[in-house]
Amino acid sequence: MKVPSAESHASAKPRLATCSLTGCFGCHMSLLDIDERILELIDLVDLDVSPFDDKKSFDRPVDVGFVEGGCSNEYNVKELIEFRKHCRILVSVGACAINGGVPAMRNTVGLRECLEAVYLHGVSLEGGGMIPNDEDLPLLLDRVYPSHEVVKIDYFLPGCPPSGDAIWAALKALLTGTEPALSYQLLKYE
């Protein structure tokens, strides 16, 4: 059974959205590792909000959303909630989205201690520094939160990053209405 498109138009392709929160963009790069299958992807979906096309806001619901990165600041939380609102299926992609990943290493120390270590006592600082406090900067959260602690997530695709093959297999299954069942080979860590 094919996944009905989020758009009511019967002939519309399914729509895909992606977002990058607190991560390194490696999971998005891994999506591009599907190489020539990107032509098949273009046939299969219409890209909606994504760093790939720089579309910033939703004007309609989408079928599948991929989230890279966890939430470390207020902007991340707002963006993730907006994504959840507009994505029929939401997938947490990669270690940062699933458990906070490397950015969540700061969870082992307090936020203030972390900021002081970087901005007041960093080895490259000469004559002292200051903790940035411009009102335009997003408010940092007390810790880095995995995406499922902020919104409901439908699927988790582990890896740092998941391989292009794993992303392709999951995406293709979701877009064709099949329950994703990835082999051990696609999910193993090395």
Q: Kindly indicate which of the ranges 11-19, 35-43, 89-97, 130-138 contains the residues binding ligand SF4, using the contact rule CB under 6 A.
A: 89-97
Question: Which of residues 31 and 169 has its CB atom nearest to ligand SF4 in the complex?
Answer: 31
Phi, psi of 149 (to 5 degrees): -85, -5
**Nearest alpha carbon to residue 27 among 55, 60, 67, 65:** 67
**DSSP per position, 152-166:** --SEEE-SSSPPHHH
**Greatest alpha-carbon span in the chain:** 65
End-to-end CA gap in the chain = 35
**Least distance from ligand SF4 to the Cβ atom of residue 127, Å:** 33
Q: Kindly indicate which of the ranges 22-30, 31-39, 167-175, 181-189 contains the residues binding ligand SF4, using the contact rule CB under 6 A.
A: 22-30
Does residue 95 touch ligand SF4 according to CB under 6 A? yes
Question: Which of residues 5 and 50 has its CB atom nearest to ligand SF4 in the complex?
Answer: 50
Per CB under 6 A, the list member of 94, 100, 143, 168 interacting with ligand SF4 is: 94
Helix (H/G/I), strand (E/B), else coil: 122:
coil
Size, binding site for ligand SF4 by CB under 6 A: 13
Does residue 12 touch ligand SF4 according to CB under 6 A? no
**DSSP per position, 92-127:** EESHHHHH-TGGGGGGGS-HHHHHHHHHTS-TT-SS
Q: Quick check: 97 and 91 in contact, CB under 8 A?
A: no
Does residue 24 touch ligand SF4 according to CB under 6 A? yes
Residues 152-171 that bind ligand SF4 (CB under 6 A): 160-161
Element (H, E) at 93: strand 87-93
Per CB under 6 A, the list member of 26, 65, 100, 146 interacting with ligand SF4 is: 26
In the complex, the residues that contact ligand SF4 under the rule CB under 6 A are 23-24, 26-27, 68-69, 94-96, 101-102, 160-161
